[in-house]
Amino acid sequence: MRDFRELKVWAKAHELVLATYAATGIFPPSELFGLTAQMRRSCASIATNIAEGCGRDSEAELRRYLSIAGGSASELEYQLLLARDLGYLRCDKHDLLTGEVIQIKRMLTRFIQTVGRPIRTRQPTADG
C-alpha cells in the first residue's frame, strides 16, 4: 500500500478537481445535472482512482486503477472540448485545463510503466 498524498500525479489531479469545480460553477443552471455533473465526476474520478489504487494490495490492482484514472482523464479532456464548443468555457480556460489533463495523462502513463518494475541497483564500475 502507498500513501496517495505523496504522489505528484495525485496532487496534480486534486488541483485539477478544484479548478474544474471552479470553472463549471459558471455553467448555465440547465447544465447542473448534465455537463457540469459529468465534468465534476470525471475529474474527481481521476484523483479518486489514484487514491483507491494506492490502497489496494497488489501492483496489478494499482496499475488497473491508474488505467481507469487515465480513462477518466480522457473523458474529461473531451468534456472540456465540448464545454468550450458550447460556449460555456472560454478558450484560455479550456487550454489551461486541457494542458493540465494532458500532463496528468502523461504522468499516469509513466507511473503505470514503472509500477511493479524491480528497483535497479547501481552496477559496480571498473572504478569501484
Instruction: Give 100's pLDDT tier (boundaries 50, 70, 90).
Output: very high
- Domains, the chain, ranges and CATH? 4-114 (1.20.1440.60)
Is the model's pLDDT at 122 over the cut of 90?
no
Mean pLDDT of the chain: 92
- The helix (run of H) or strand (run of E) holding residue 24 is helix 8-24
Count of other CB atoms within 10 angstroms of residue 121: 6
Predicted confidence (pLDDT) per residue in 35-45, tens digit: 999 999 999 99
* CA 110 – CA 108 distance, rounded (Å): 5
Of 90, 43, 98, the closest CA to residue 71 belongs to 43
> What pLDDT score does 127 carry?
47
> What pLDDT score does 117 carry?
73
* CA 117 – CA 101 distance, rounded (Å): 25
- Quick one: CA dihedral 34, 38, 40, 41, positive or negative? positive
